[in-house]
Amino acid sequence: MNLKRPELKEEIEQAAAIISASRHLVALTGAGCSTESGIPDFRSSGGLWKKYDPAIYADYAYFLKDPSKHWELNLDLMPLLENAKPNNAHLALVELEKAGLLKALITQNIDNLHQKAGCHTIIELHGNYREASCLNCRQCYDLDEIRNLPLRPFPHCPRCQGIIKPKVVLFGEALDSNVLARAKNEVEKADVLLIIGTALEIFPAALLPQIAKQHGARLIIVNPERTKARGRSDIFLRGKAGEILPKILSHIKGK
């Protein structure tokens, strides 16, 4: 990160001041929050969609026709997800929570890294790769139970032989309405929304900043790329989350 850019240093100080004075800080994270943990995002060069066509590997209608493709993606990614460690961005968010500033963390990520880091108030919009359920009888399974089943071409429910689906939201699949309602409620209460590592191109998650703004929140965006959402932000911190967030934290702690 080029902190020699005086405007970035100033913007980080401004962001720290806004966060310190906040009443209800909410964070919204996306795949970019985990790239520094070695998990590729969707759209960047080297992103997942360069290898896996989302219309085949991550589409709900396709899954119902042929679950094996999504399971192939899931099983390919599993060792990476299992071995990934939280990075400085995840850890800084935990510190903001411990300091009593961060009231809720809404994530589009399914990688479980906010939990691994020790964050408590997580709203997972798109689910978690460690959970699955049977599409027929709705029985839930965790990853450790799934691992004991025949996994290829895809696992079947031991109770009813139904198709087991990872509890991650696929394209064309509705979000859990309770989870979405909780997320909306948090952004409505927010006076500051910290948006980290998301292109904000997936709905309804992409509407959350707008809802926050309509309810008077200030938006702070952290992203190395100038995303479309930049125009809506009050402060746009151009850089990597794992570098920017610890700087913000240091200012808040007065170091």
Strands 25-29 and 164-168: what pairing? unpaired
**What's the Cα-to-Cα distance from 170 to each of 28, 44, 162, 174, rounded to whole Å?**
19, 19, 18, 8
Cβ atoms of 193 and 218 within 8 Å: the answer is yes
Q: For ligand NAD, which stretch binds (CB under 6 A), given 3-11, 18-26, 32-40, 97-105?
A: 32-40
Query: Which of the residues 74 through 113 are near ligand NAD (CB under 6 A)?
Result: 108-111
Using CB atoms, what's the residue nearest to ligand NAD? 32
Q: Do strands 127-134 and 122-124 pair parallel, antiparallel, or not at all (unpaired)?
A: unpaired
Instruction: Rank residues 217 and 222 by Cβ distance to ligand NAD and give the closer one.
Output: 222
Query: What are the helix (H) ranges across the chain?
Result: 6-20, 54-57, 60-65, 67-83, 88-98, 113-117, 143-146, 177-189, 208-214, 241-252
Catalytic residue among 70, 90, 114, 126: 126
Size of the site for ligand NAD (CB under 6 A): 31
Please indicate whether residue 126 is annotated as part of the active site. Answer: yes
Residue range at the interface with ligand NAD (CB under 6 A); choices 97-105, 148-156, 175-183, 221-229: 221-229
- By beta-carbon proximity to ligand NAD, the closer residue of 47 and 118 is 47
Helix 241-252, helix 6-20: angle, nearest 10: 60
Q: Segment 225-254, which members bind ligand NAD (CB under 6 A)? A: 225, 227, 240-242
Q: Which amino acid is at 75?
A: L
Binding segment toward ligand NAD, per CB under 6 A, in 12-20, 34-42, 145-153, 173-181: 34-42
Among 9, 24, 43, 156, binds ligand NAD (CB under 6 A): 43
Q: Indicate whether 171 belongs to the interface with ligand NAD (CB under 6 A).
A: no
* Chain mean position to CA 40: 12
230 token code pair: 């930049």
Among 8, 25, 28, 35, binds ligand NAD (CB under 6 A): 35
Strands, sheet with 127-134, edge to edge from the N-terminal-most edge strand: 140-142, 127-134, 164-168
- Residue 209 binding ligand NAD, by CB under 6 A: no
- C-beta of 151: minimal distance to ligand NAD in Å? 20
The verdict on 42 binding ligand NAD (CB under 6 A) reads yes
> Which of the ranges 17-25, 94-102, 171-179, 194-202 carries the binding residues for ligand NAD, by CB under 6 A?
194-202
By CB under 6 A, name the one of 41, 95, 97, 124 that touches ligand NAD: 41
Q: Check if the beta carbon of residue 81 is closer than 8 Å to that of residue 115.
A: no
Using CB under 6 A as the binding rule, whether residue 30 contacts ligand NAD is answered as yes
CA distance 82 to 17: 36
Instruction: Report residue 225 as tokens.
Output: 């790329």
- Interface residues toward ligand NAD, by CB under 6 A: 30-32, 34-36, 39, 41-44, 47-48, 108-111, 126, 197-199, 201-202, 222-225, 227, 240-242
Active site residues: 126
